[in-house]
Structure 1
Amino acid sequence: MAKRSLWLTVLILVLAGAGLLSAGGGATPRPYLIGDPQGDWGFPSPFAHNPRGPGYLRVSFLFDTLIWKDARGFIPALADSWEYQASPPAYVFRLHPGVIWHDGQPLTARDVAFTIDYLKKHPHPWVDLRPISTVEVLDPLTVRLVLSQPYAPFLEEIAGTMFILPRHIWEQVEDPIRFQDARACVGSGPYRLAEYRREHGLYRFVAFETYYRGKPTASEIGFVQVGNELVALKGKAVQAAAVPPEAVQELKDQGFTVLSQPHFFCLKLLFNHHKFPQQELAFRRALAQAVNLPDLVAQTLRGYGLPASPGLLPPDSPWYCAPQARYPFDPAAAARLLESLGYRRTPEGWMRDGHLLALELLSSPAYARVAEYLKKSFQNIGLTVHLRQVDHTILDQRVKNQQFDLALSGHGGLGGDPKFINDVCTGPLAREFLGGYQPPPKMVQLLTDQLQTLDEAKRRLLVARIQEQLAYELPALPLFYPTWYLGHDGRIPWFFTRGGIAKGIPVYFNKVALLPGAASASPP
C-alpha cells in the first residue's frame, strides 16, 4: 500500500511537472520514471499492445525471447546457445536451465513449441512464422525449429522478436487481444507488471527477483506521459526522456547524461493509393519535386536531421545504397507533371473535368510544423491542401482504413534487418506504412529473393535493387530522418542496441541495461 501511495504521489508530481523532494530538501527514494509525450501504448500483453515500437518495448520488460541484442549484436536470452543446420534448414536452441515464469511455473521447450503453434493460429504483426514448417521438442530444454526454406533474417525477425508464452496460461485463451487481465502479463522477463493506467500512459514494473539472468538493478521502473519532456527531466519528475537538440549542452552542464542515436526513424508523406490522383506515379513525383527537403530539415528540425532517401533506408543503415532515382526541388517540373495528368492551372487551383483538385493532409500534433511547411510548398505550385490534426492513434486508424488523402506518418525499424522493407511493403502493417500501395511483381520477387538469400554479398545487391525500385515507384515520399537525443540522470547505463531493439526499435531503453553487469553491454 505504501508503494502504491508513493507512485500516486509521483504521478501527480509528474503531471504537474515537478520533482519529488522531501521537506528537508533531500531526495526521497522513488521509482525510475521514463517520460513519454504520447502516453498510452496499449495493454502490455504480447497481443493487446499498440503494434508500433513503443507498445512492443513495454511488453519486452515482462516477456523474453529466445535471443536478444545488446550494443554489439545477438546475446543469449531464454536460449543459452543456438546453432544452424543446413539440411534441412533448421535452428536448434538450448534453453537456460531453471527458468521460471512470474507465477513460479517452470519454462520448458514445450512452451516454445506451444508459442509457435499459437502464433500460427493467432498471427502477430511483429512475427511472421510462415518460414517454420515443424517444431521438434528434443528434450525439456532443447527445441529444433525446421524451416521450409532458408530464411536469412530468422535470428532477428523470429528468435529475437517472438515473445515466448506460458502454455499453462494461454492454451485456454481463444481471443488473445481481449485477454487483458493480470494473467496475460505473466511472462519470464526481468520485471512484473504492478500497475497500468491507460488514462495517464502509466506503466509500472517491479523487479522479478528470481530472474534467471540476475536480479534487476532498479527495483521499480515505469513509463509515464508527460506534457513537456525537458521540463519534467530538469525538474526531476522523470529520470529519462527524449530532449530537444538545442538543450543538449545545457543538460550536460547540469550533470545529465545525453546520448544521440543513429537515424533509424523516418517521417514520410503517405498517399492514398486507392484514390486518384494519388495512385498516379506522376502525381507522387510532382509532390516530391514541390518540396525542398534540405530546407524542410532546416526549418522544421532546425537542421537536426537528414533529408531522407527515396529508397527509404538511411545512410546510417549498413544496408544503405544511394538510389539513382532522385527528385530535386523543382516547382516548374512539378507543375508539368500535374499537367501530364490532364490538370489545368487556374487562379482557383488545378482543375480537371471541371473539378478542383483539393486534398486533405492529416497529421498528428507532433508534426504540425511539417504539415504547415508542406501546405505552403504545395500552395506554391497552386495545389489546394487543407490540414487536419488528429491524435496519432486516430491517424494510424484512418490510414489503415483508407480514410485519407495525404498523411504524415513515421516509423522506426530502419536499422535492423532489411526484412523490414518487406513488412513495409507487404506485411500486416503495410497499409499504415504505405497507404495501400500494391508493389508490382518485379518488386515482390525481389523482396522474396532477399529473404531466401543467405550469402550476404548477394543479398546486399538485392537490397540495393529494392531501394532503387522504391525510389522509382515512390509509394510514399520519405521526408527526413530526425536526430534524436536522450537525456537521463546517469543511474542506468542506457545504450543504443545494434540495429535497434528486437527488429529495429530505435530507442535506448533496452532491458539489458537494467541487469547485473550491464555496463559491459555497452560498446567500448
Structure 2
Amino acid sequence: MDTSNKVRGRSVHLSMDRCLLLELAAAGLMLFILCGTAVSEEDAVDVFTIADTTGDWGWPSPYGHYSRGPGYVRMSLIFDTLVWKDQDGYVPALADSWHMEGGDCYVFNLRRNVTWNDEEQFTARDVVFTIDYIKEHPYQWVNSGVIRNAELLDDYTVKIRLNGSYAPFLDMVACTLPILPEHIYRDVDEPTEFRKDESLVGTGPYTLVDYDQSQGTYLYQAYDGYYLGAPRVRHIKFIKLSNEMAAAALEKGDVDASAVPAETVGRLRKGGFVVLEGPRDGITKIMVNHKKEPFSDVRLRQALYCAIDRQALVDNALRGFGVIASPGLFAPDSEWYNPDVEQYSYDPARSVDLMSEIGYAKDGQSFSRDGTVFEIEMLVTSFNERVGEMVRQQLENAGFKVTLRSVDSKTLDNLVGEWNFDLALNSHGGMSGDPEILNRIIGEGYTFNSARYSANQRLNDLLDEEVSEMDPAKRKELVEEVQQVYAQDLPALPLYYTNSYWAHDGQVNAYYTKRGIANGIPIAQNKLCFVR
C-alpha cells in the first residue's frame, strides 16, 4: 500500500463520507449511553486536536511506526500491552493481575472481556503468539533475548519465563510490548512491510480513520468495544505545527494541546490554559564516531568535552530553561544521579594538554598533526542548528576546526546508525524511566540513540549486572558505577537537559506518566487521558 498519500481502506476511509462517519459515531454513542456503558454527551469530547512539530511518525502499527517516542505513542492508541502505567505507576491493561514465581518467571491473569477491534476475542494464545513472533521478527522496542518462552496455562492465563533475573521486565517488556492478534499476524512474514488495514487490528481504545504521510496528520476514532468502556474523547487528531506557532494556535482554538516554548508558559497560564512541566527526561548529547580514529582515543573525546561550556549552552541556547547533563548521563535531580563522577568543567587549556598527549599541536588557531589540520564534521538538523553553531564556535575557540552539516532528522539518524559521521548532535528521551535506559544508549545492538560502545569490557559487564540485580539498593550501586566508568570513557558527550512544557485547554486530564510511557517516553499523551 502506498502511504505517501492519504491511506484508505476498511477503517481509514474518512474522506468517503464524513457525514456518515459522524452519524455513525453519534448513533454508537447513543447506543452506549442507553446501555449505561459510555460517558454522557456532556462529558464526551468530540475531537481533541494535538499539535506536533514533526508530523509524520510512520504507519501506526507495531512494526510500522518510527523508532522514537511519538511514533510509539501513536501506535499505542491502537494496540495494548499486558501492563500499562499512569501518573502513579503500574495499572492493569490486558492483564488484570500478575505475580512472580521465583526470580525469573511471571504469571499473567488476563481480562476476559477483551476483543480485537475486528470483534474477534482476545485470549492468552495471542500473548504466546506475540512472544514467539518477536523472537523470529524482532520488535525494535523490546529485547526478546531476555525471554525464554511463553506458556499457555489456559485461555486467560499465561506464564512467561525469562533467561535469568531481569529487574526492569515490567517496564521494558510488559508495559512496552504491543500484543499482536494471532489471527492476523500468523500469516505475515514481513511485518515491517505490512501496511494493510488489518495491520491495525488491535485491542486498544482507538482505530485509525485517516493518515496523511505527506501532511503529517492522523485521525483516530474511539473504539466503543474497548474493555475499559467507550473512550470519552471520540476522535483524536494530530496535525503538524511549528513550535513557534504552538501557543498562538492554542489561544486561537486551532489546537487543544501542544508542547510549547518556555517563554510562553506564563502567558498561557494567565489565559486559563493548563501547562504541565515535564520531568527532565530529554537529554541532548554529541554522538561520537568512536570506531573511527582519532575519535577512538578516549583522550580526544575528553579534550572535546573540556572545550565545551555546557553552562553557557544552557544559559544562551536554552535561555536558562534547562540544566547541564552529568558526564554520567543522568540529570542532577534524577533518583539515579551519581554526584561523584568526574564533572569536566569548562577547561580549554586541558583540551590542549590532552591533544598534545596524542600528538596534536595547536598550530595557530587549529590543532594539527604532521602538518595536517584536524578537521571535524558535525551533523545537525534545522531544529538544533543554533545549538550546533554555539558548540562549533566553542570548539573552534579551543582549536578544533569544525564544520556543520545540516540534514533532516531521519537522515541524521541513518548516518549515525551506519557510522557515517564524525560528530552528531542528538536528543532523545527516556532518562526518567528505568535505568535500563543505560543499556539502550550505551550498549551494542541498539539504535542510533546508542553509543553502541563495546571497547570497555568492565562497562558492558556492569550494564549486564545492573539489569539482572533484583535488590534495589545493590542495583543502585551498580548504576552509580556504570556512570563513573561511562564518564571516564565518554563514548558520547552529554550536554544538557531541556525543561519541557505541555499545554492544553483542560478538556482532558493530561499528565506525565510515572517513569514515562512504555519504556520511558516523556510525552503527556497517555492514552488513558483520553479514555476516562
**TM-score when normalising by structure 1:** 0.91
* Preserved CA contact (<8 Å) 1:262 1:316: no
Q: Which residue of 2 aligns with 1:376?
A: 393
1:506 maps to 2:532: no
- Show the counterpart of 1:95: 110
Does the 8 A contact of 2:307 with 2:398 survive in 1?
yes
1:474 aligns to what? 490
Give 1:235 deviation, angstroms.
Answer: 2.2
For 1:169, the equivalent position in structure 2 comes to 184
Number of equivalent positions: 492
Q: Which amino acid aligns with 2:362?
A: R
Are 1:246 and 2:263 matched, yes or no? yes
Q: In the alignment, is the contact (CA less than 8 A) between 2:327 and 2:341 conserved in 1? A: no
In 2: Cα distance, 1:3 partner to 1:311 partner: 55
Return 182-191 or 130-139, whichever deviates more.
130-139
Larger displacement relative to structure 2 (162-171 or 422-431): 422-431
In the other structure, the counterpart of 1:14 is none
CA shift, 1:430, in A, is: 4.5
SS at 1:296 equivalent: helix
- Partner in structure 1 of residue 370 of structure 2: 353
1:417-449 deviations in Å (ceiling 9; x for gaps): 111111112254344422x53241111111111
CA distance in 1, matches of 2:197, 2:149: 31
Please give the alpha-carbon distance, in whole angstroms, between the structure 1 residues aligned to 2:366 and 2:135: 51
CA distance in 2, matches of 1:490, 1:107: 34
8 Å Cα contact 2:222-2:231 kept in structure 1: yes
- The CA deviation string for residues 166-208 of structure 1, in whole angstroms up to 9 with x for no partner, is 0000000000000011111110000001111111111111000
Partner of 1:147: 162
Q: Which of 392, 395, 404 does residue 412 from structure 2 map onto?
A: 395
Find the residue that maps to 1:56 and give its secondary structure. helix
Greater mean alpha carbon deviation, residues 130-139 or residues 120-129: 130-139
Shift of 1:467: 0.9
**In structure 1, what is the equivalent of residue 131 of structure 2?**
116
Question: Partners in 1 of 2:215 and 2:65 — Cα distance?
Answer: 15
C-alpha contact (below 8 Å) 2:80/2:179 kept by paired residues: yes
Deviation at 1:241, TM superposition (A): 0.5
RMSD: 1.5
**Shift in Å at residue 347 of structure 1?**
2.7
Contact 2:416/2:424 (8 A) holds in 1: yes
Is the contact made by 2:83 and 2:93 (CA closer than 8 Å) also made in structure 1?
yes
Does residue 60 of structure 1 match 2:76? yes
**Residues 394 and 319 from structure 1, CA distance in 2 versus in 1: closer, same or farther, beyond 3 angstroms?**
same
Matched, 1:494 2:507: no
Kept after mapping to 1: 8 A contact 2:95/2:111: yes
User: How far apart, in 2, do the equivalents of 1:78 and 1:218 lie?
Assistant: 21
Read off the aligned partner of 2:510 and give its amino acid letter: W
Task: Check conservation: 2:413, 2:448, Cα contact below 8 A.
Answer: no
Tell me the distance in 1 between the aligned counterparts of 2:95 and 2:377: 50
Distance 2:257 2:303 in 1: 42
2:54 counterpart residue number: 38
Output the amino acid matched with 2:150.
V
Distance 2:512 2:66 in 1: 22
CA 1:439/1:222 → structure 2, altered by over 3 Å: closer, same or farther?
Answer: farther
Q: Residue 378 of structure 2 aligns to which amino acid in structure 1?
A: L
Tell me how far apart the structure 2 counterparts of residues 439 and 357 of structure 1 sit (CA, whole Å). Answer: 24
Tell me if structure 1 keeps the 8 A contact 2:108–2:159.
Answer: yes
The structure-2 alpha-carbon separation of the partners of 1:303 and 1:209, relative to structure 1 and needing over 3 Å to count, comes to same
Any stretches of 5+ residues in structure 1 without a counterpart? 7-28, 517-524
Could you tell which deviates more after superposition, 240-249 or 343-352? 343-352
Find the counterpart in structure 2 of residue 458 from structure 1.
Answer: 474
Structure 1 residue 243: deviation in Å? 0.7
Q: How far has the Cα of 1:372 moved from its partner? A: 0.8
Q: Deviations over 1:321-358 (max 9, x none)?
A: 22421200011111111111111222362211232111
* Alignment deviations for residues 281-332 of structure 1 (CA, whole Å, 9 cap, x no partner): 1111111111111111000000000100011112333222224212000111
CA contact (8 A) 1:495 1:509 kept: yes
- 1:306, 1:251 → 2: CA distance? 23
Structure 2 match to 1:331: 348
**8 A contact 1:151–1:452 mirrored in 2:** yes
| Cross-structure match for 2:102 | 86
1:446–1:462 Cα contact (<8 Å) kept: yes
CA distance in 2, matches of 1:380, 1:403: 26
Specify whether residues 216 and 179 from structure 1 end up closer, same or farther in structure 2 by C-alpha distance, changes over 3 A only: same
Partners of 1:323 and 1:471 within 8 A in 2: no
Matching residue of 1:125 = 140
Shift of 1:38: 1.2
> What amino acid does structure 2 have at the position aligned with 1:284?
R
In structure 2, what is the Cα distance between the partners aligned to 1:388 and 1:114?
A: 45
Alpha-carbon distance, 1:30 to partner: 6.1
Which residue matches 1:297?
314
Is 1:264–1:316's contact at 8 Å kept on the other side of the alignment?
no
- Residue 277 of structure 1 aligns with which residue? 294
Q: What is the SS of the residue equivalent to 2:350?
A: helix
What code does the residue aligned with 1:345 have?
A: K
* Worse-matched range after superposition: 367-376 or 61-70: 367-376
How far off is 1:275 after superposition?
1.7
Match of 2:501 in 1: 485
Which amino acid is the alignment partner of residue 180 of structure 2? L
Counterpart check, 1:182 vs 2:197 = yes
1:313 matched residue in structure 2: 330
**Cα displacement (A) at 1:278:** 1.5
SS of residue paired to 2:440: helix
CA distance in 2, matches of 1:70, 1:83: 19
Alignment-mate amino acid for residue 77 of structure 2:
F
SS at match of 2:81: coil
Superimposed CA distance per residue, residues 62-118 of structure 1 (whole angstroms, 9 cap, x where no aligned partner): 00000000111100000000000117x311101111200000000000000000000
Note closer, same or farther for the CA distance 1:335–1:3 as it changes in structure 2 (3 Å cut).
Answer: farther
* SS of aligned partner of 2:91: strand
Tell me which residue corresponds to 2:381: 364
